Structure 1
Amino acid sequence: MSTTSQTIQEWKQVYELEVFSYCLMTNHVHLVVQANDNPTAIPQLMRRLARRQTRFVNSLEKRSGSLREGRYKISPIDTDAYLLACCRYVELNPVKAGMVDKPELYEWSSYCARVGVSHCQWLDEPDTFRALAGSHQMKIEAYRKFVEQEDASSSDELICTAINSNKLTGGNKLVDEIENRIGIRVETRKRGRPASKK
């Protein structure tokens, strides 16, 4: 897994990406990144991650073949409303998978660095984290409480659905903004004319 971490650190600079959250699981990776205007930056990063991790694991286990099945999934985020929720979703993956009881017990995610348990020199700090409180220690405490809150199931469900369908993580305002910017409908809509009411 350290190979994957090194790849992220190395290529985030090449592709001018900011990495706000990550979680390296045994057979997949979760990332929350801010991309630049280069539309190929994220696809290229994901290809490099897949290749390097495959070589590392195949060498370690004396095997061949691919580790991950299918293409990666991506969901643009309404940063103001959902960025921290997406970071929480990513960092709680090991807890939800039953690998650890608390996110700080999993060393292969950004949570430990975010709350000061460890250090990650290349992890970026989103504006929404900076806005949580005045001092850095107060931000850490606010983020801890945010991650530990128990009423996050609705936002987690929205995020999971958005990721699995490669749709936007956000509300109607973000959908309208993106559609106006690119001139294409990006929201899932039912086909055909709406049913008439009788």
Structure 2
Amino acid sequence: MNPVRAGIVEHPGEYQWSSYGINAQGEKSSLIKPHPLYKGLGDTKKERREGYQELFCHELDTVEIDKIRKATNGGFSLGNDRFNNEISIMLGRRVTPGKAGRPKKNQEE
């Protein structure tokens, strides 16, 4: 659930359970640690905060939101074929949706 899209708050920084204040505004937290993707947003703390804020300037389009929801609700990965294959091998299970319906019967039977 996205608290902004759900109408709970107008901005992610207003939601008490969001890491936005830590990542975008430099608030302190003993729970949140910078991860590699966040560190990749800039060389300095200021650049990382500004880069993080920029991520929230544009809404995702409905197609992307739908892809994220389907992957999340189905327990699937969301990425290109190579990424999905690597994740499938790591987990030892399918990570993309299968074809709907029953499998076709073998014509020789």
* TM tier relative to shorter chain: 0.7 to 0.9
Q: Which runs of 5 or more residues in structure 1 are unaligned?
A: 1-89, 194-198
Q: Which runs of 5 or more residues in structure 2 are unaligned?
A: 105-109
Tell me, yes or no, if the aligned pair for 2:26 and 2:49 is still in contact at 8 Å: no
Q: With CA pairs under 8 Å and 6+ residues apart, which has the higher RCO, 1 or 2?
A: 1
Q: CA deviation at 1:179?
A: 2.5
1:186 matched to 2:95? The reply is: yes
1:128 matched to 2:37? The reply is: yes
**Segments ≥4 residues shifted beyond 3 Å:** 181-184
Q: CA deviation at 1:183?
A: 4.1
> Residues 123-156 of structure 1: CA distance to partner in whole angstroms, max 9, x if unpaired?
0212011111111111111111112213x22433
The residue type equivalent to 1:131 in the other structure is G
1 CA distance for matches of 2:96 and 2:89? 12
Q: CA deviation at 1:163?
A: 0.8
How many residues matched?
101
TM-aligned CA distance change 1:99 to 1:180, over 3 Å? closer
1 CA distance for matches of 2:16 and 2:90? 39
Which of 69, 79, 83 is the aligned partner of 1:170? 79
**Rg larger in structure:** 2
2 CA distance for matches of 1:149 and 1:136? 22
1:108 matched to 2:34? The reply is: no
Structure whose residues are more often helix by fraction = 1
Q: TM-score, normalised by structure 1?
A: 0.45
Residue 26 of structure 1 corresponds to which residue in structure 2?
Answer: none
The percentage of aligned residue pairs carrying the same residue is 27
Tell me, yes or no, if the aligned pair for 1:94 and 1:100 is still in contact at 8 Å: yes
Tell me, yes or no, if the aligned pair for 1:104 and 1:117 is still in contact at 8 Å: no
RMSD: 2.1
The residue type equivalent to 1:103 in the other structure is P
2 CA distance for matches of 1:100 and 1:185? 36
Q: CA deviation at 1:117?
A: 5.5
Mapping of residues 131-170 of structure 1, within 5 Å: 131-150=40-59, 152-153=60-61, 154-170=63-79
